Structure formats: structure tokens, C-alpha cells
Amino acid sequence: MEVTEDANMEMVAAAQRKLKVLRHSAEAMEHEQKNKEAILKDLEKTIEELHERRRDNLARVHEYNCDTASVMDDLCLEEKLETLEGMLIEKNSKLHQRQLFQKMLVEQLSHVEETLNSTPATLRADNGETHVSNVVRESECQLYHSEISSHVKGIHRFCFEQMMDGAELPVSIFYSGVSKIARIARDREVELEMQAEKMSEMSKQMMMEDGAQRDADLMYKKELERLQRKHRHVLQSMARAASAEMKDLRNAIQTELRVQHELRERLEAEVTERSTPVVKVDLPHVAGNSQSASDGWNSLNRREAYVSADSELQALHAQVENAKADVQRLQQQLLSLREEETNMKADHLAHTKIQEAKLHAAEEAAAVLKKENTEWQSLRQQMSLLPT
């Protein structure tokens, strides 16, 4: 019996040592879990910094969109300028036509004056005709003279009005307006070039930030995969060790239960043997009574050993339950970490898609600005061809 009790005590001590090892491994896993949480927090901080940078870039893109709207307004003004230039060209052509028409009318007027000056000479040459015919011719000549003079006055009035119309809209006013708008267009072109350079720098910066974020994402994924593999390996090893430990503990508990059952049976047998009715004891039986007393003390010692073994088994059961609770808690933490990982991956993918869409919009805006810059350059060339 003493040998079995010593073996049981050794098994209990071995089980306690294994439980200590399991506790140390659980503490190591908790420490590693804290390190993983710290790494995840650092990655979240870097992701938040990247999101702040992207928000700043979005604000800049909004500003450049406002500048693009102002550029569109300037393009509308440029269209109005082109219409004014067309009106100016048309006005110049009309003035040229009126000048030609005026010259033609002046030539006709000079021709009519020459004919009028030549009429008295022709009348004097016809003195040989009769007086009646002279009177008729003079009256006809006066009538012709009055009609021609009225035509001449109308021609003078028409030419004077045309000259006044031309004086009311001088060409210098149009040219001054065109030169002023050309200066505004040149200044705006310089501003557009500066904005295009800023947009190109901004797009380069956004591409660099996007590359940095992709590198951070890859590093984050690799770190997560490494931690998952390591955590999975540790959990598998812990599960194997726990299953082996539980099997050993079950075997030890079964042996202890068998020993306990045997001890109970022996104790009950001894109790039944000593449960005889009380009789008078003579003096010669003192030696037998002392022997029975010693047997009773031995049974009590055995019962105390049994009680101590039972208490140790209860403590061992409590340690096993605590180890199970620790394993369940670690599994719950692992599940929560996996859920957080999936949520973070989904949020990161959504933010990445949004930022890619915004980057595409910024590139389109930069392309539009480049197109507008080329249009402004062509407009500048056209302005340089205009007469100053």
C-alpha cells in the first residue's frame, strides 16, 4: 500500500509539473498575443496616417476641381473673345466696303458735276435755234439740274452718315479690348501651367503613397500569415499536449479511484470486523486490546492518507479545470482576433478601392488640365498672329 501511495504521489507531482509547464506556455502565448496586438496597433496607426494623407489629397483635388471650374469660365470668356474677334473682322470688312462705295459715289458725283458744267456751253452753242426751243430746253435743264442737285445732296448726306458710323466705332477700341483679353489669357496660361505642374507633383506623390500603402498591406498580410501559422502551430502543439495530459490525468484518476475503492472496501471490512458488541474485558486480555488499538490507529492513518490523496485529486481536478478555462479563453481570443483581422481586411480593401477611384479621378483631372493647357497654347499662338 505504501508503494502504491508513493506512486500516486509521484504521478500527482508529475501532473503538477506538467500543469506548471502548461501555465508557462499559456503565459508565453499571452505575451506573444500582446506583442501581436501591439503590432496590429502599429499597423492601424500607419493605415490611419495614410488615410489622413489621402484625405488631404482629396482636399487638394477638390481645390483643383474648383480651379478647373474657373478655367472653364475662362474658356467661356475665350469663346466670347472669339465671337468679338469675328464681329471685329466683319466690321472691318463692312467699313472697307463702305469706303469703296464712298469712293465710287464721289467719282460719280465728279462726273455729274462735269456734265453740269458742260451744259451751259452746249446751250450757248445752240443760239441759232428758235427762242421757243431755247425756253423749253432751259426749263428742262433747270429740271434736270434740280434733280441732279437733290441726288448730289442725298449722296453727300449718305457719305457723311457712313463716315459718322465708322467714327462712332473706331477700330482701336476693338484692338485694345483684344490685347487686354490676350494679356489676361497669357496670365491665365501661366497659372494653368503652374497648376498642371502641381497636379503632376500631386499625382506622383499619390502614386508614391499608394505604393507605400501597398507595401504596408503586403507586410501586414505577411505578418498576419506568419502569426497565424505560428499561432496555429502553437495551438496544435498545445492541443496535443493537453490531450496527452488529459489522457494521463484520466489514467491517474482511474488508478486513484481504484485504489480509493480498494481502500474503502478494506476499511469497511475492518469496520465490520470491529463492530462487535461491547463485553467485559479481563486483565489477561490487555495484550489483545493493545493489538486491536494499534490496528485501529493503523486504519486511522490509512484513512488520513486516503483523505489527503482525495484532497490532492480535487486540487488536481481544479488545476485541470483552470487549464481548460485558459485554453478556452485563448481560443476565444484567437477567434476574436480572426474576426478583427477579417474586418480590418474588408475595411482596408474598401478604402483601397475608394482611393484607387479617387486617384483615377485625379489622373483624369490632370489629363483635362493638360488638354486645356494645349488649348491655351494654341490660343496664344492665334493671339500672337493678331495685329497689335
> DSSP readout, 147-176?
HHHHHHHHHHHHHHHHHHHHHHS-HHHHHH
Domain around 262: 2-86+196-270+292-385
Residue 135: which residues within 8 A CB-CB, separation 6 or more?
A: none
- Residue 140 and residue 76 in contact, taking contact as beta carbons nearer than 8 Å: no
Of residues 127 and 117, more confidently modeled: 117
Q: Is residue 165 part of a domain?
A: no
The domain total for the chain is: 1
CB count in 10 Å sphere of residue 348: 20
Q: Is residue 107 part of a domain?
A: no
pTM score over 0.85:
no
- Kindly report which listed range (234-243, 250-259, 270-279, 281-290) carries the lowest average pLDDT score: 281-290
- Residue 202 and residue 60 in contact, taking contact as beta carbons nearer than 8 Å: yes
Tell me the pLDDT band of 155, cut-offs 50, 70 and 90. Answer: low
Mean pLDDT of the chain: 69
CA–centroid distance for 344 within its chain = 15
Tell me the pLDDT band of 312, cut-offs 50, 70 and 90. Answer: low
Q: Identify the pLDDT of residue 149.
A: 66
pLDDT of residue 53 exceeding 70, the answer is yes
Residue 276: which residues within 8 A CB-CB, separation 6 or more?
A: none
> Hunting for cell 498575443 — which residue is that?
33
Residue-wise pLDDT for 102-113, tens only, equals: 778 778 777 766
Q: Is residue 138 part of a domain?
A: no
Q: How far apart are CA 338 and CA 360, in angstroms?
A: 33
Q: Identify the pLDDT of residue 287.
A: 40
Q: Is residue 162 part of a domain?
A: no
> What values do phi and psi take at 363, rounded to 5?
-65, -40
Q: How far apart are CA 350 and CA 344, in angstroms?
A: 10
Taking CA atoms, 303 is separated from 4, 257, 289, 297, in Å, by 15, 15, 21, 10
Q: Is residue 71 part of a domain?
A: yes
Residue-wise pLDDT for 369-380, tens only, equals: 777 777 777 766
Q: Is residue 168 part of a domain?
A: no
Q: Is residue 166 part of a domain?
A: no
Q: What's the average model confidence in pLDDT over 261-281?
A: 63
> Hunting for cell 489527503 — which residue is that?
308
Nearest to 298 by CA among 255, 263, 332: 263
Of residues 260 and 172, more confidently modeled: 260
Q: Is residue 123 part of a domain?
A: no
Q: Identify the pLDDT of residue 277.
A: 45
Q: Identify the pLDDT of residue 289.
A: 44
